[in-house]
Chains A and B, each alone.
Chain A
Amino acid sequence: MSSPEWKNPVIKWVDTRLPVFSLMHHSTAGYPSPRNLSYWWNFGSLALTVLIVMVLTGIFLVMNYTPHVDMAFDSVERIMRDVNYGWLIRYVHMNGASMFFIVVYVHIFRGIYYGSYKGPREILWILGVVIMLLMMGTAFMGYVLPWGQMSLWGATVITNLFSAFPIVGDFIVTLLWGGFSVDNPTLNRFFSLHYLLPFVLFAVVGLHLWALHSVKSNNPLGVEIKQPEDAIPFHPYYTIKDLFGMSLFFMFFLFFVFWAPNFFGEPDNYIPANPMVTPAHIVPEWYFLPFYAILRAITFDFLWIIPAKLGGVLAMFASILVWIALPWLDRSKVRSARFRPVYKWFFWVLVADFVFLGYLGKMPAEQPYVIMAQLATLYYFAHFLVVLPLMAKLEKSVELPESIAAAVLKKGDA
């Protein structure tokens, strides 16, 4: 790719020494994107936008937050009541976490539907999984900071997961706590990490974008850009499309902030943390529920050597880590589900299964929910480990269009 000839002497002077303007050009007007991207492709830039909103609101919340078990709850309430626009900043941050996961889940499932993980986009995809893991860690630690009942007990339950590991388990848990229960040292280190991880996130997002710009966007047809007619420059076409989507999305986001700010939250977290009283039902935030259901589904010893507790923890981690192997589990040559008549249906079964798992994660751990969760978990893993590899062999795909332009222009003529 050639750099444009800069006419402005100042820009030229800077650019020959530090090519920031060339970089900007390459990633906007000079960045070729498939001409047929649908609105499902808006969610990547939306996720970045939410990340920026989260970091901004977070920085301003920290100015008034006190990370100490005796003061954290009250300092958050002071933000809500006394700090100018504190309620707004906090509700945006609080709901922003939910929005981040909504956007990223759509982004992930879009990638799964259109086969965006397939070569040459494997590293792009794996970086995405890393981003998801970082987000989960950040969100979990952030939820602890207001130091309400769910903060304390959520932290207790999740950190105790690590005690399932043989030999090193207890050592890890004590190390996480910095004591013998979730207490002030835990709150302090979670605060430190909650502030640090978003910047790590930014770095990985940078790599994710770097990888994207070298392999280019996938598209609804799953056919690579082959000729100039297949692509249009990112700017202005997709900048305006992204901005329009962003504006719509903010209406959705802010509806919750202004009219239902606690819709995604747990009422119990408005009760100050009390290490002597466990709430009747400990539920994680909604975005963890599918994984939480998988964790609880393993109620039996696995293969007689892995006890149920460890089995649940391993299943939960495996349910995310299996995504890393996705490019190699799905060997079908065709990317987009549009041309995969059978896979298409299994995709929607997976979505339904995932949502159902989320529902079960909210339900108490009793029958019939346990057996349902076990079946749903079984399908979840079967989808990745059995259905996908088999389908690559058995499925007959519909004929692919010759190129993006061919498909688009034909549709236009009709």
Chain B
Amino acid sequence: MADTATNVEKKTEGGESRRDFLLLATSAVGAAGVAGAVWPFVDSMNPAADVLALSTTEVDISQIEEGQSITVVWRGKPVFVRYRTAEEIEQAKQDDTAKLIDVQKDEDRVQKTEWLILIGICTHLGCVPLGQKPSDPRGEFGGWFCPCHGSHYDTSGRIRKGPAPRNLDVPPYAFLDDEHVLIG
């Protein structure tokens, strides 16, 4: 630049290298500071404490009669809890050897044979299948029927007919005692 002072360009050689080191060190510390300042912003987009508090759902199953189902909400999604009858369990076990789209044994899908717990979202395009209420259609296999594109699920929640690619998902859960299940 022609229009600034020229006398400032004169630098002693020793000063130059000391300045370079200082510049490098300061830049490194400054960059660390910026990185540290970014984290609170990023972390603020993670689930907040009140959202995390709802990441598990405790369900009281003492009021459910044999053959009945209830729907609970877990992480904003419907979860089906069905107290299966002896016939339904029998049917599910028999079908282990049937022609399955997504092969899985019934015993791998339940912790206690009478309790079937599933995420109630059709694995096709995310509709909620029917079959929870006694008056609902349950499809050709006595489990659930998705009205959107006609997927039929059996009494183990396995896909048997229709466009859905996978069985209904089983959420992580644990029996706290005989009357309470913790989902999540």
Contact = CB atoms under 8 A, between A and B. Distances in A.
Do A and B interact directly, with beta carbons closer than 8 Å? yes
Contacts of A60: 41, 44-45
Nearest to B8: A232
B62 interface: no
Interface in A50-93: 56, 60, 63-64, 78, 81-86, 88-89
Interface stretch (A27-35, A121-129, A153-161, A345-353): A27-35
Interface residues of B, number: 20
A232 B4 contact: yes
A261 interface: no
B1 A32 contact: yes
A231 interface: yes
Contacts of B1: 1, 29-30, 32, 233
A228 interface: yes
A232 B46 CA distance: 47
Contacts of A231: 3-5
Interface of A: 1, 29-30, 32, 35, 56, 60, 63-64, 78, 81-86, 88-89, 225, 228-233, 237, 243, 405
A29 B39 CA distance: 32
Query: Looking at B1, B30, B48, which has the most chain A CB atoms within 10 Å of its CB?
Result: B1
B4 A63 contact: no
Contacts of A29: 1
Contacts of A228: 2-6
Contacts of B46: 84
A63 B44 contact: yes
Contact of B5 (A63, A81, A229): A229
Contact of B40 (A32, A88, A225, A229): A88
Contacts of B51: 82
Given A85-B40, A88-B40, A89-B40, A63 B3 contact: no
Interface string B1-39: 111111110000000000000000000001000000001
Given A29-B1, A229-B7, A81 B49 contact: yes
A229 B4 CA distance: 6
A32 B3 contact: yes
Interface string B85-115: 0000000000000000000000000000000
Interface in B120-165: none
Contacts of A30: 1
Contacts of B50: 78, 82
A230 B8 CA distance: 11
A172 to B, nearest CB: 38
Contact of B48 (A83, A89, A243): A83
21 contacts: A32-B1, A35-B5, A60-B41, A60-B44, A64-B44, A78-B48, A82-B48, A82-B50, A82-B51, A83-B44, A85-B40, A86-B48, A88-B40, A228-B2, A228-B6, A231-B3, A231-B5, A232-B8, A233-B4, A237-B8, A243-B30
B43 interface: yes
Query: Looking at A29, A84, A229, which has the most chain B CB atoms within 10 Å of its CB?
Result: A84
Given A64-B48, A84-B46, A84-B48, A89 B41 contact: yes
Nearest to A4: B1
B105 to A, nearest CB: 42
Nearest to B5: A229
A5 B12 CA distance: 26
Contacts of A64: 44, 48
A27 to B, nearest CB: 12
A95 to B, nearest CB: 15
Nearest to A92: B40
Q: Can you list the 6 inter-chain pairs with the closest CB atoms, starting with the nearest?
A: A85-B40, A82-B49, A82-B48, A82-B50, A84-B43, A83-B48
A301 B63 CA distance: 77
A230 B5 CA distance: 7
Given A1-B1, A81-B49, A231-B4, 12 more contacts: A32-B1, A32-B3, A32-B4, A63-B44, A64-B44, A82-B49, A82-B51, A83-B44, A84-B49, A89-B44, A230-B5, A232-B5
A80 to B, nearest CB: 11
B51 to A, nearest CB: 8
A86 B30 CA distance: 24
B5 A85 contact: no
Query: Looking at B3, B8, B43, B50, which has the most chain A CB atoms within 10 Å of its CB?
Result: B3
A17 to B, nearest CB: 24
Given A64-B48, A78-B48, A78-B50, A85 B4 contact: no
Contact of B43 (A35, A78, A81, A85): A85
Contacts of B39: 85
A86 B50 CA distance: 13
A302 to B, nearest CB: 50
Contacts of B7: 229
Contact of A63 (B2, B45, B49): B45
Nearest to A32: B4
Contacts of B44: 60, 63-64, 83-86, 89
Nearest to B52: A82
Given A60-B41, A84-B43, A405 B48 contact: no
A413 to B, nearest CB: 14
B59 to A, nearest CB: 24
